């Protein structure tokens, strides 16, 4: 397949171009409208996302075959389309959350939405980059934008602290990753992911390259990717950042940023290093398995004593990164398929849980577990929704989270990594304990003072049902399995 030239690529690149146009338009509109009408800016960005989504779909259906764009810098295929749609949904949800979140009220300015559109652009590139250089640029676009978004509550010291920690960790991780990328480039003599694996296998066989050097380079790259998906030992930033950042941004980071990180992870390892010869020379599947086991265990154990729901969900999100990594350990197509399916499910259940956190923070003014006391009788529907999200996160049937975990564990067991499956399953049991603390607060305890039932608008319930219904039904429907299956089958593997 011949990569398209720069000019020919532009048409295929129209979703990304549209994102840039709308980001600029949002800033301009913000200058025009009055302060109290800034909602219009939000709607414009939603319209923008809609247009981008339409563009993605039109391009997907008009040019079915995978194509390489910009002389092999990025690749357009079902896999990237899958992630683009996922990311667009997450961004749209984040904008809607932001509209309803009271902590953001004052600062809902154009640049907030422009930044969200910009970060989406970066994630699009992360999902489609096939060149080491492009990978780094995409990652940096996303990172730099998220630093600003995490520190968006300028009046809150916690938010600034979050941004500062995020930058410090991010800088180190990016630097390490860049070093790893340069090592790879030096050893393989090419930056093209589709060729790197073959070149390295050749050089390893001829003895020109030491296996240890490849392992070191991969480990360094993993630092950058691991930082994005918050895997141990690069997870330390995430609880503080998740706690300090505005809730919609926390939701966004925990879902979109993680998904994009996995897109990059899969593309990088599956396309670049899926070659079996390479796997025999360098035992990095074991390394990934250990990272995965540690990530879920650390995430779950650290979540146990948390009192702040946001922080609790942050740790739970680390743990989910660990579950997701399980599917990637041996880079089989079943495993990748499981990751993609789980990401769909995770998108709905985790965003849903964060939406409830936004609503509770608005109404009760609290992010702690105590703030959820008596929610079962004060806001029954919200509480039921939360139960569904958390039960799904635990992996209890009939909710979608169970089907996702089932796919992941099947993929792991199929490869004979029994110990990893056991660690994962025991972690599910542990996770029940801290999710159940929220159940307990909502249903088994009464609120401190007598409070009336809280009324929510129809819009709130409508948005909530956008997350509840998929969380209940995704597992029952064939189409989502096919969707993730098709997205994997197009990935080239050497």
Partner 1 sequence: MLLSLMIFIPLLGMIAVLLLPRESEELIKRVTLIFTLIPLALAVVLFISYDRSTAGTQYVVNVPWIDAFNIQYHIGIDGLSVTLLLLTALLGPICVIASWRNIEKGIKAYMALFLLLETGMLGFFAALDLFLFYVFFELTLLPMYFLIGIWGGPRREYAAIKFFLYTLFGSVLMLVAMIAVYLNSNIVNGVAEGLRTFDIPTLIALASTEGHALANLDFQIWVFLGFFIGFAVKVPIFPFHTWLPDAHVEAPTAISVILAGILLKMGTYGLVRVNMAMFPLGLDHFTNGIGFWGNSLALLGFINIVYGSFCALAQTDFKKLVAYSSIGHMGFVILGLAARNDTGITGAILQMFNHGVISAMLFLLVGVLYDRAHHREINGFGGLGTRMPVYTGITTLAFMASLGLPGLSGFVGEALSLLGAYSEFKWLTILSTIGIVVGAAYFLWTLQRVFLGNLNPKYEDLPEINGREILTLVPLAILTILLGVWPNLAIDMFRESVTNLVNVLQAI
Question: Rule CB under 8 A: which residues touch partner 1?
Answer: 376-377, 380, 387, 391, 394, 396-398, 402, 406, 409-410, 413-414, 418, 421-422, 425-426, 428-429, 432-433, 436, 439-440, 443-444, 476, 478, 481-482, 485
Task: Select 49 or 387, whichever has its Cβ closest to partner 1.
Answer: 387
Task: In whole angstroms, give the CA distance from residue 347 to residue 254.
Answer: 9
CA torsion, ordered 457, 460, 466, 470, to nearest 10 deg = -100
Residue (of 70, 191, 73, 190) closest to 129 by Cα position = 73
Task: In whole angstroms, give the CA distance from residue 440 to residue 100.
Answer: 26
The one-character DSSP state at 305 is T
Beta bridge partners of 308: 368
Q: How far is the CB of 42 from partner 1 (least distance, A)?
A: 34
Residue (of 230, 315, 341, 267) closest to 79 by Cα position = 267
Q: How far is the CB of 436 from partner 1 (least distance, A)?
A: 5
Cis peptide upstream of residue 398 (ω within 30 degrees of 0): yes
Task: Select 23 or 491, whichever has its Cβ closest to partner 1.
Answer: 491
Q: How far is the CB of 85 from partner 1 (least distance, A)?
A: 20
Task: Select 266 or 423, whichever has its Cβ closest to partner 1.
Answer: 423
Task: Select 42 or 303, whichever has its Cβ closest to partner 1.
Answer: 303
Q: How far is the CB of 412 from partner 1 (least distance, A)?
A: 9
Task: Select 62 or 478, whichever has its Cβ closest to partner 1.
Answer: 478
Task: Select 164 or 481, whichever has its Cβ closest to partner 1.
Answer: 481
Task: In whole angstroms, give the CA distance from residue 30 to residue 34.
Answer: 8
Task: Select 245 or 432, whichever has its Cβ closest to partner 1.
Answer: 432
Residue (of 362, 347, 287, 359) closest to 317 by Cα position = 347
3-state secondary structure 166-215: HHHHHHHHHHHHHHHHHHHHHHHCCCEHHHHHHHHHHHHHHCCCCHHHHH
Contact 82, 487 (CB under 8 A): yes
Q: How far is the CB of 289 from partner 1 (least distance, A)?
A: 16
Q: How far is the CB of 337 from partner 1 (least distance, A)?
A: 9
Q: How far is the CB of 235 from partner 1 (least distance, A)?
A: 24
């Amino acid at each position: 397949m011949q990569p398209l030239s720069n000019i020919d690529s532009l048409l295929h690149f129209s979703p990304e171009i549209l994102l840039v146009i709308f980001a600029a338009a949002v800033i301009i509109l913000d200058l025009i409208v009055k302060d109290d009408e800034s909602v219009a800016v939000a709607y414009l960005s939603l319209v923008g996302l809609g247009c981008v989504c339409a563009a993605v779909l039109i391009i997907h259906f008009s040019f079915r075959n995978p194509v390489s764009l910009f002389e092999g810098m990025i690749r357009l295929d079902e896999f990237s389309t899958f992630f683009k749609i996922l990311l667009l949904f997450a961004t749209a949800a984040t904008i809607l959350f932001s509209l309803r979140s009271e902590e953001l009220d004052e600062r809902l300015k154009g640049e907030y939405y422009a930044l969200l559109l910009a970060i989406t652009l970066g994630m699009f590139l992360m999902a489609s980059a096939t060149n080491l250089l492009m990978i780094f640029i995409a990652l940096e676009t996303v990172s730099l934008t998220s630093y600003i978004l995490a520190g968006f509550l300028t009046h809150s010291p916690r938010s600034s602290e979050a941004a500062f920690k995020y930058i410090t960790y991010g800088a180190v991780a990016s630097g390490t990753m860049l070093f790893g990328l340069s090592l790879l480039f030096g050893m393989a003599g090419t930056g093209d992911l589709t060729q790197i694996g073959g070149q390295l296998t050749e050089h390893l066989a001829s003895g020109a390259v030491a296996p240890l050097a490849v392992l070191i380079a991969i480990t360094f790259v993993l630092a950058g990717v691991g930082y994005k998906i918050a895997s141990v030992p690069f997870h330390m930033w995430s609880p503080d950042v998740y706690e300090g950042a505005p809730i919609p941004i926390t939701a966004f980071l925990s879902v979109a940023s993680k998904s994009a990180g996995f897109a990059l992870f899969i593309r990088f390892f599956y396309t670049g290093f899926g070659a079996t010869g390479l796997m025999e020379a360098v035992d990095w599947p074991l390394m990934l398995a250990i990272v995965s086991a540690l990530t879920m265990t650390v995430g779950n154990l650290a979540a146990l004593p948390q009192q702040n729901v946001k922080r609790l969900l942050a740790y739970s999100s680390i743990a989910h990164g660990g579950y997701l990594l399980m599917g990637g350990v041996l880079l089989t197509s079943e495993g990748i398929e499981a990751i993609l399916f789980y990401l769909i499910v995770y998108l709905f259940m985790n965003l849903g849980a964060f939406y409830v956190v936004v609503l509770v923070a608005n109404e009760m003014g609290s992010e702690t577990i105590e703030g959820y006391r008596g929610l079962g009788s004060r806001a029954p529907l919200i509480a039921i929704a939360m139960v569904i999200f958390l039960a799904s996160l635990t992996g209890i049937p009939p909710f979608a989270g169970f089907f996702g975990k089932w796919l992941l564990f099947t993929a792991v067991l199929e490869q004979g990594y029994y110990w990893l499956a056991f660690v994962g399953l025991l972690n599910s049991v542990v996770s029940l304990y801290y999710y159940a603390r929220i159940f307990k607060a909502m249903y088994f305890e009464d609120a401190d003072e007598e409070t009336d039932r809280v009324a929510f608008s129809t819009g709130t319930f409508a948005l909530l049902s956008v997350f509840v219904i998929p969380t209940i039904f995704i597992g029952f429907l064939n189409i989502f399995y096919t969707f993730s299956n098709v997205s994997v089958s197009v990935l080239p593997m050497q």
